[in-house]
Amino acid sequence: MVAYMNREALERTLATGNATFWSRSRKALWTKGETSGHVLRVHSVLCDCDADTVLLLVDPDGPSCHTGRPSCFFRKYEDGEWREQPVDARPFLHELEAVIEARQQSTAEKSYTRSLLDGGPAKIGSKIREEADELSRAIAGESDERVLSEAGDLLFHVLVGLRQRGLDVRGVLDVLAKRTGTSGHAEKASRSPKA
Ligand SMILES: [Zn+2]
């Protein structure tokens, strides 16, 4: 999303960690999510070359756009018209995590997810190994459809494993983001002194 900030809005954002803007029409500060609950928890704050634009990298608690979409930039100019873009993968992964968490906490009915979590690390680990093996075989010599389906199975079980440890995909994305700019080999060497 794009919104206006004055110095006070920026100071409030830096002090509270929640994105806060200045409404020029209402002439008042407003913290994103103060009525909707969809706050933007600020991760990092960057500014551009001539310091007239601030970029906030955030963890959104719900959709950023008042239309309920994850981003305000959901229309793209293509073939002479503005076309709505499909939802990107990250919010979908967060939603899937929310479903897994809900199944974990549900006392109502037994679900597959719940039985995995009840089985603990041993059960989840053996499913992850099994799915990884199936995906490897699919990549080596099966149809694209099979590869996508097996990758989906593996991803799901990885999310359940993270959930079991109280971790989430956001943490994984942070790790990957920190590695950006470092080659895979260099990163691996930095972790293992023998390599
Ligand atoms: Zn919007």
| Domains parsed from the chain with CATH numbers | 7-80 (3.10.20.810), 89-182 (1.10.287.1080)
In this predicted structure, the answer to whether residue 21 has a pLDDT above a threshold of 50 is yes
CA of 3 to the centre of ligand 1 (A): 10
Task: Give distance in angstroms: CA of 19 to centre of ligand 1.
Answer: 15
| pLDDT confidence of residue 170 | 83
Measured in Å, residue 147 CA sits from the centre of ligand 1 at 36
| pLDDT tens digits for range 33-73 | 988 888 999 999 999 999 999 999 998 888 888 887 888 88
| Mean pLDDT, the chain, integer | 87
Contact status, residue 31 vs residue 39, Cβ threshold 8 Å: yes
Q: pTM score, two decimals? A: 0.52
Nearest to 45 by CA among 87, 90, 88, 5: 5
Q: Strand, coil or helix: what is 153? A: helix
pLDDT of 195 higher than 50: no
pLDDT per residue over 114-151, tens digit each?
Answer: 899 999 999 999 999 999 999 999 999 999 999 999 99
Name the least confident of 94-98, 107-111, 147-151: 107-111
CA of 31 to the centre of ligand 1 (A): 15
CA 59 to chain centre: 8
Please report the pLDDT score of residue 65 as a whole number: 86
More confident residue, 115 or 194: 115
Whether the CB-CB separation of 31 and 10 falls below 8 Å is answered with no
Query: If we measure between CA atoms, which residue out of 90, 82, 96 comes closest to residue 64?
Result: 90
Taking a 5 Å cut-off on Cβ, the residues next to ion ligand 1 are 65, 72
C-alpha 43 – ligand 1 centre gap (Å): 20
85 CA to middle of ligand 1, Å? 14
| 36 Cα: distance to centroid of ligand 1 (angstroms) | 13
Question: What is the distance in A from the centroid of ligand 1 to the CA of 159?
Answer: 29
